[in-house]
């Protein structure tokens, strides 16, 4: 708690400094503090979440690709109920590959209804910990544009015999976008679309700004959202350092 208070006090000082001074005067203070805090490598390990990982960023209409669904458990989880939403006009669901799934007992086969895919089942064991794949959605691109996939409903149940739901947060990559093109698509338009998808652009406005840093710090304190920029499954000060680098070096 004392460490978090130090962080909060430090951040408040930086916000005040930003209002009256040039960013260049903030740089040594912020980066110096970040370098010290990165070494601490404090984790946000008291929240579970679901993340999505697409096999491609761009795909031609008619071609196949996949979106893998992962669950990260900070305490043993023995049952999951996850729903993904997608645009059925953009893609066609061909099936769900369960070969690598941590789920060993399926309450029902993966269900596709309109714009929703449901994965529901459990494990023989008391529960799983860490990052595990739930299933791989096999898809075919249909129409040009953006195909958005979102883990919209997530329920993870504790494997301690209580059947209680575990604390879950929203990972930065609980949503993934695939850009679909055809032979008439201007490649520069695809590049531009991908270019605005900066991983540290937390609020999605196309730039990395003080607002993104503020959102990150608020999430760090409340621990209700996980911003994992380096893909290690945790929210640490390494992620904070990446955010700062994108903020300062983009100016």
Higher pLDDT, 199 or 168: 168
Q: Does CATH number 3.30.70.20 belong to domain 49-184?
A: no
Q: Are strands 145-158 and 64-85 parallel, antiparallel or unpaired?
A: antiparallel
133 pLDDT above the threshold of 90: yes
pTM, to two decimals: 0.68
Residue 14 CB coordination number (10 Å): 16
Distance CA 240, CA 210 (A): 12
Domain spans, the chain: 2-40+198-249, 49-184
DSSP state of 251: -
* Helices and strands counted in the chain (H then E): 5, 12
Q: What is the pLDDT of residues 84-129, one digit of tens each?
A: 999 999 999 999 999 999 999 999 999 899 899 999 999 987 899 9
Distance CA 234, CA 217 (A): 15
CA separation, residue 137 to residues 54, 69, 86, 121, 179 (Å): 9, 8, 11, 16, 17
């Amino acid at each position: 708690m004392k460490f978090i208070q130090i962080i909060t006090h430090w951040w408040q000082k930086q916000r005040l400094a930003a209002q009256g001074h040039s960013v260049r005067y903030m740089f040594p203070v912020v980066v110096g503090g970040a370098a010290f805090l990165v070494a601490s490598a404090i984790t946000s390990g008291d929240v579970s979440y679901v993340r999505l990982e697409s096999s491609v960023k761009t795909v031609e209409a008619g071609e196949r690709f996949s979106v893998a669904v992962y669950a990260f458990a900070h305490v043993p989880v023995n049952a999951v109920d996850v729903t993904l939403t997608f645009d059925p006009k953009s893609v066609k669901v061909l099936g769900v590959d369960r070969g690598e799934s941590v789920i060993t007992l399926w309450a029902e086969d993966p269900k596709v209804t309109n714009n929703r895919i449901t994965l529901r089942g459990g494990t023989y064991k008391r529960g799983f910990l860490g990052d595990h794949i739930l299933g791989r959605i096999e898809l075919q691109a249909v129409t040009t544009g953006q195909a958005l996939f979102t883990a919209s409903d997530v329920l993870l149940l504790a494997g301690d015999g209580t059947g209680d739901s575990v604390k879950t947060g929203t990972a930065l990559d609980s949503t993934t976008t695939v850009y679909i093109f055809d032979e008439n698509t201007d490649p520069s338009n695809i590049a531009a679309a991908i270019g605005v998808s900066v991983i540290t652009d937390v609020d999605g406005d196309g730039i990395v700004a003080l607002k993104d840093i503020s959102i990150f710090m608020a999430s760090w304190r409340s621990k209700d959202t996980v911003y994992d920029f380096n893909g290690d499954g945790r929210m640490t000060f390494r992620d904070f350092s990446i955010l700062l680098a994108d903020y300062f070096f983009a100016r």
